[in-house]
Structure formats: structure tokens, C-alpha cells
A and B are shown apart, each in its own frame.
Chain A
């Protein structure tokens, strides 16, 4: 019985002769129906998961790229939400995308949006909880990022392109220029949001994400920007819903 399934998969891949014991007519039009449905299903899942990439490249370019990705990395699960995790890295290596350096980082932001959308529900850290701690206790504590939070820092204007294409910021004449930008993608409640980060905020959040204490994260923020105002930085991140809870030092 494995023989049939092996042969059918070979026929889906183009080798209709493998299926001859069960389908003598290698030109049977029905084979194309299955091939088309599968190709369409994969391309549609990727187009839905990477809408900004699809819009920037156009439908035909995207579909061709998606199908090539799917041939090399077919989905493994019927729950297709996680499919395409490797697509941004693959795009970065995809020869036809060589002249489109913004595609792979834009794909990472699309991916972050999808991950945030499906991430576990979790409370947002109440600023009042942090306000009652004395400074020494606060610096020794760790702030756990919200499970939906994804932190990015780019050397080029990726954030501007993506925020505008996804409607988080008004559409503008966009330039691909070498200008550092940060962005936080997070879903504090049921709506995915995206907020720009400055250099100090991004350094602070990445340190928190990697397990640093707030004191260590503050050092990172000052290293990134000596003029950083720690109080307003932390307040802005709390308001954005970046954290789910504080872990006091035990």
C-alpha cells in the first residue's frame, strides 16, 4: 500500500509514469487538478502570511517564489499557521531577490505579525505594579516580554516601509536608505500593534528578552544612547504592552 502512496506523490511531483499500475493514462487531466489544488493551497497560505512581501513584489513574482520555496520546503502540518517560518531566510538567499534587499527583513516583520496574532494570551504588566517597587528592587527584577512581543532593529529603512505598507503609518513616498530603525510588534490584547523603537528602547527590550535584569537592560540602553531617559523609556514600553510580568529577584 506504501507503493501506491509513493507512486501518487511521485506523480504529484511530475512523474506520472510511477502511477501507471493504477493509472495507465499518464496524461489524465485529473492529475493536474490535484497538482493545481496543492500548488494553489501552498501559494495562498504563504501569500496570506506574507502580505507585504506579496504586495511589494506583485502577485506573479510572489507566487513563483512561493512555489519554489514550497518545493524545497513543503509544509509538514495541516495546521498551516506556522508554515513559512523559514521563508524570510530563504528569500534572503533567493537569487531573483538579490536586487530587493528589503524583502527578507520585510518578510521577518510579516512573520512577526502572524506569530503575534496567534501567540498565547497573556496579561499586560500593570505600570502600577512597577511603580510601588523601590529603585533597587526594580533594578534587580526581570521584566518578562509579552509572549506576542517581537523586537527588531534594522540598519536600513525596513520599519518605515513595513509600517506604511501594513497601514500602521500613513503611506508616504518611501525611500530605501541606510537609516537605523527599530520596531516592536506586539499583541497586548486582541489586536496586533506595531510601534517604533529608538536605539535605547530596542537595546533595553532585547536585553530584557535575553533574560537581563532591568538594571542590566538600563546599562544596555545607556550604552546605545547616553542621553536615554530611562523613566520615559520604561513608561513608553509599558504603555505599548511590551511586558507581561515582573519577576522580583528571589
Chain B
């Protein structure tokens, strides 16, 4: 099995339609990310495909179902299935979201928000601890896309993530598109958010496309993963990398999926941005 021996490089979200091309791609440093929930099966072709991919490329497991921000502990059965996949595929990184999706036996296929109170911080610290202990691995936690200006926050999102990382040893997965979408929807500065993130905690970066809401236009952006990465997001990405240094970076696409080559072109752009020559500090972004 290959490991990430080229330093932090750029990867691609693996889609079933692209298995063959993904497997055959000679791109240097290419790695793939999947949602483990799609591979929680007893057997069959899906696991066989992922086995084949993993023999050739490094893999990241990016979960959507631990529901770390629920008002209850993560589901023990789900954790056990996650651990079985981690043991089988030895991902170079595992990640989850600062959100909830399941409680009291009902799963909502979305990443839901919550008021960032100190009580919720304590709950999520406990949940991340529990998950990391059960998995025997460190998790990276991803900032969500937000659509509602909830009241009752006691901490800012960066402050909350920083405290979570400090208390649990987890790292951060910075989704630059989510920062852009949330900043637009809630009216804060994406640049200030990115500049305040604790650099040492950042273990991975996500890039994806968004779309304006059909009824509300540019005032309500949807984290739809159905379009190329926006230029504004590439600009924010360059700013982040200039400050914190190169980090494994993933281009995600989950809908309106184009040809593999088209996705690879976006991935290659991220890959080039991570190369040393591309990372000469930008004068306007070198501080921060």
C-alpha cells in the first residue's frame, strides 16, 4: 500500500462512476476520499472496488454520520462499523463534522447546526473523545456550512473549534467553501475567519462548489457540491495555504458529476498551489 510520501498533496472525492479511471490514474500524490457510510456493507463489489483503489492510492475516510453535535453519545454500532473500515483501509486521515445528523434513533441526511454554548462544547468534547478512543485514531473536525443566524451562541466558530482541538487533541478540516458560504449567508468576513484559525491544528482542507438558492439568489448560497470550485474560494484557499503552509487538500463533487478528467483538472490546480514555488508568501496575506 502506498502512503503519502510526497508530502501534503491534493486528492479527489471518489465517485463510483470513476473507479476505473481513478484506479489507473498515474497522477503523482493523488489520493482519494470516501464517505465510510457508503461502504458499511457485508461484502460485494463496493468493498472490492475500494480494496483495489486502496492497494494503489492513499485513502481518507470522511464520515457524515457520527452526529458529534447531537445531545447524546455517538452510536456504538456505528462507531464499531467505522472502526472496522478504518482497520481494513488504514486511512491516512479520518474526519467528521461539527454538526449533528442523528438522535433518538432518527437519521436526518444533512449536517445540522446548533448554538455554540459552553454546554455544547463540553458535550462535543466528550463525543469526540469517545469517538477517538473507540477508533484508536485522531479525528479532524470540519467546519459546517451555515444557513441560519441562530441566537444563543456563546463562542465564535473558530473559538469553538480551537477549544475543541485543545481539549481533545483532534485536528481541523478546513472547508474553505463552507467558510465562504457561511460568511455570505451569515454576514461575516471569510478572510478574518481563515486568518484566525490555529494553523497547527489544520490537518486537511476541502474545496467544493456552491450554488445560489433558486429563490434567494446570491444572498443565500447552498453548499451543493454540484459545480466547480468558485474563483473566490480559490483565492481564499491561496490565502490560507500562504499562511499555514501546505495541507492535504481535497476537491469534492457529489452532484452533477463531470468526467474524471474535468475533476482531475481542478484537483491538479490545488496540487499546483501546494507546490513550494506557488507558495511564496503573498505580501497581503503573509501576516495573520
On A, residues with C-beta under 8 Å from B are 1-2, 4-5, 8-9, 12, 21-24, 28-31, 33-34, 37-38, 41-42, 45, 74-81, 116-122, 147-148, 187, 190-191
Contact = CB atoms under 8 A, between A and B. Distances in A.
Chain B: interface residue count, which band? 35 or more
A116 B150 CA distance: 44
Contacts of B108: 9, 12, 38, 74
10 contacts: A1-B120, A5-B71, A30-B185, A75-B109, A76-B106, A78-B102, A79-B40, A81-B38, A81-B40, A190-B48
Interface in B131-186: 146-152, 185
Contact of A31 (B48, B64, B100, B148): B148
B70 interface: yes
B213 A8 contact: no
Contacts of B66: 78
A147 B40 CA distance: 17
Given A4-B115, A34-B110, A78 B64 contact: yes
Given A30-B220, A33-B213, A76-B106, A81 B41 contact: yes
B42 interface: yes
Interface of B: 37-38, 40-46, 48, 63-67, 70-71, 78, 81, 100-103, 105-110, 112-115, 117, 119-120, 123, 146-152, 185, 213, 215-216, 220, 222
A79 B40 CA distance: 6
A74 B43 contact: no
Nearest to A2: B71
Contacts of A4: 71, 114-115, 152
A23 B71 contact: no
Contacts, number: 129
A81 B40 CA distance: 8
B112 to A, nearest CB: 6
A23 B42 contact: no
Contacts of A190: 44-45, 48
A5 B100 contact: yes
A28 B108 CA distance: 19
A30 B219 CA distance: 11
A191 B46 CA distance: 11
Nearest to B220: A29
A79 B185 CA distance: 30
Nearest to A191: B45
